């Protein structure tokens, strides 16, 4: 009997993941991971823990708790604030997966004798050999060659946040709900009699609850009035500090000058040293649209990176359309990405994630590092 530690947040997705594995005959241990949250956050970890406990009791599994709040603060929150201070826009979900769920939790689970860990992510893992025995969902036959692929529910797919995983980690990981639509997951929750079957999905960043993200940043970063310029470098407004904003954003700054159009203005570039934002009503055709970007911290989930002349797909933000590109690996975990057409919105600090030519297998990714020139 394989031993599996399941990360249970108290939500319906991870709860169904645990229930499916229990039904399949695994020895399942639920693990509630306590993370850091600001004092004024409406995110009540105690209530989330109680929901996880109710589910564990319902499906007859044990539940333990890992207090990783200090680690989360250091590895995710401090990283996030450091990136914003220098003008980049980090992705805390990617960092949480890398450092917490598939970092500390993964290592501790295996240290305690687990054969696998499992989470409620909408993603799938495929093996080179026959993975599923007849009638047995999730039964692993061969762990040597694992591939990360998109989930059945394309609207909920979370492979974008999992590009930092490695073949070794995938070999010890299961994503039980990846082959289901979200509506099917809720039906399964009701079938299993889970108390959180109708619980709403969490919105925004897990550690903030109902706190506005900019309000959170304002508690840690100083406000500094600056100029908003149009593409002709004419002053059209002001803002509270360039580090609070990201490329593509159209809210939060004030337009004080009359403009030729009433169309929304989008941030197309920013200069942290000069504390300047540049905006445009037509961002897709603006001067900031580019065909090449540089990535750092590049990770390839596959055995080898694709050839530089091979056309693959890339996504520069969660749920953004896939775009054809070529990738040339550079020295020091860096890469140059050349898109098939000029693209607006590559944002320093965000992730560029690669997929195969069909957009199904997630190949890896990297962090966008090339600053937009003003």
Beta strands in the chain (DSSP E): 3-7, 27-34, 62-67, 116-118, 124-127, 146-149, 173-174, 226-229, 235-239, 254-255, 266-271, 276-280, 290-300, 312-315, 323-330, 334-343, 351-355, 362-368
- CA 179 to each of CA 30, 138, 182, 267: distance values in angstroms, whole numbers, following the listed order: 21, 10, 10, 38
pLDDT in tens, 22-31: 999 999 999 9
Active-site residue flag, 325: no
User: Are residues 84 and 77 in contact, defined by beta-carbon separation less than 8 angstroms?
Assistant: no
pLDDT(85) > 90: yes
Classify residue 203 as left (phi > 0), alpha (psi -120 to 50) or beta: beta
* Domain 3-191: top CATH class: alpha beta
Nearest alpha-carbon partner for 105 in 133, 142, 64: 64
pLDDT band for 212, please (50, 70, 90 cuts).
confident
Does 334 participate in catalysis according to the annotation?
Answer: no
- H-assigned helices in 163-317: 167-170, 182-191, 213-218
Our CA angle for 90, 264, 214, nearest 5°, is 35
Task: Tell me if 293 sits within 8 A of 270, measured CB to CB.
Answer: no
Q: Which of 8-17, 38-47, 187-196, 263-272 has the lowest mean pLDDT?
A: 38-47
Selecting among 43, 206, 352, 362, the annotated active-site residue is 206
Rounded to whole angstroms, how far apart are CA atoms 215 and 226? 18
- Domain boundaries, given as residue ranges, for the chain: 3-191, 222-285, 290-368
Closest listed residue to residue 26, CA positions, set 140, 133, 110, 120: 140
Q: What is the mean pLDDT of residues 79-102?
A: 95
């004080």: which residue's tokens? 256
Of 2.40.50.140, 2.60.300.12, 3.30.70.2190, 2.40.30.10, the CATH number of 290-368 is: 2.40.30.10
Taking the model in full, what pTM does it have? 0.90
Q: Report whether 122 contacts 156 (CB < 8 A).
A: yes
Give the separation between CA 21 and CA 254, rounded to whole angstroms.
Answer: 52
Judged by DSSP in three states, 204 sits in coil
Q: How many CB atoms lie within 10 A of CB 92?
A: 19
In 3D space, the residue among 243, 236, 97, 273 whose CA is nearest the CA of residue 170 turns out to be: 97
- pLDDT at position 374: 42
Catalytic residue among 96, 325, 352, 362: 96
Q: Pairing between strand 146-149 and 334-343? A: unpaired
Note the maximum CA span of the chain: 70
* Structure token pair of residue 131: 């993975």
Q: Which tens digit of pLDDT belongs to each residue from 168-211?
A: 999 999 999 999 999 999 999 999 999 999 988 876 566 565 56
CATH class for the region spanning 222-285: mainly beta
């Amino acid at each position: 009997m394989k031993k599996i530690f399941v990360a249970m947040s108290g939500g319906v997705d991870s709860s169904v993941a645990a229930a499916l594995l229990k039904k399949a005959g695994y020895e399942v241990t639920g693990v509630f991971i306590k993370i850091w949250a600001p004092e004024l956050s409406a995110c009540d970890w105690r209530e989330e823990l109680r929901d996880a406990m109710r589910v564990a009791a319902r499906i007859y599994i044990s539940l333990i708790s890992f207090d990783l709040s200090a680690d989360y603060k250091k590895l995710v929150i401090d990283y996030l604030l450091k990136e914003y201070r220098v003008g980049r826009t980090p992705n805390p979900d990617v960092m949480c997966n890398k450092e917490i769920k598939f970092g500390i939790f993964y290592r501790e689970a295996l240290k305690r004798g687990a054969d696998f860990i499992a989470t409620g992510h909408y993603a799938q893992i495929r093996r080179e050999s026959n993975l599923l025995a007849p009638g047995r969902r999730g039964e692993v036959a061969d762990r040597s060659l694992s591939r990360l692929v998109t989930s059945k529910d394309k609207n909920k797919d979370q492979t974008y946040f999992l590009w930092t995983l490695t073949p070794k980690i995938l070999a010890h990981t299961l994503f039980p709900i990846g082959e289901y639509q979200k509506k099917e997951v809720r039906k399964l929750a009701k079938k299993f009699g889970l108390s959180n079957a109708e619980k709403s999905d969490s919105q925004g960043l897990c550690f903030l609850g109902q706190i506005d993200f900019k309000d959170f940043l304002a508690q840690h970063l100083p406000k500094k009035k600056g100029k908003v310029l149009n593409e002709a470098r004419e002053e059209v407004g002001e803002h509270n500090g360039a580090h609070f904003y990201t490329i593509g954003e159209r809210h939060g700054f004030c337009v004080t000058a009359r403009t030729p159009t009433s169309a929304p203005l989008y941030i197309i570039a920013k200069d942290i040293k000069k504390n300047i934002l540049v905006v445009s009503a037509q961002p897709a055709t603006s001067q900031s649209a580019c065909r090449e970007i540089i990535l750092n911290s590049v990770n390839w989930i596959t055995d080898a990176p694709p050839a530089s002349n091979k056309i693959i797909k890339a996504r520069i933000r969660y749920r953004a359309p896939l775009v054809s590109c070529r990738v040339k690996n550079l020295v020091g975990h860096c890469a140059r990405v050349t898109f098939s057409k000029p693209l607006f919105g590559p944002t320093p600090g965000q992730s560029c994630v690669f997929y195969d030519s069909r957009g199904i297998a997630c190949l890896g990714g990297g962090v966008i590092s090339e600053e937009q020139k003003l």
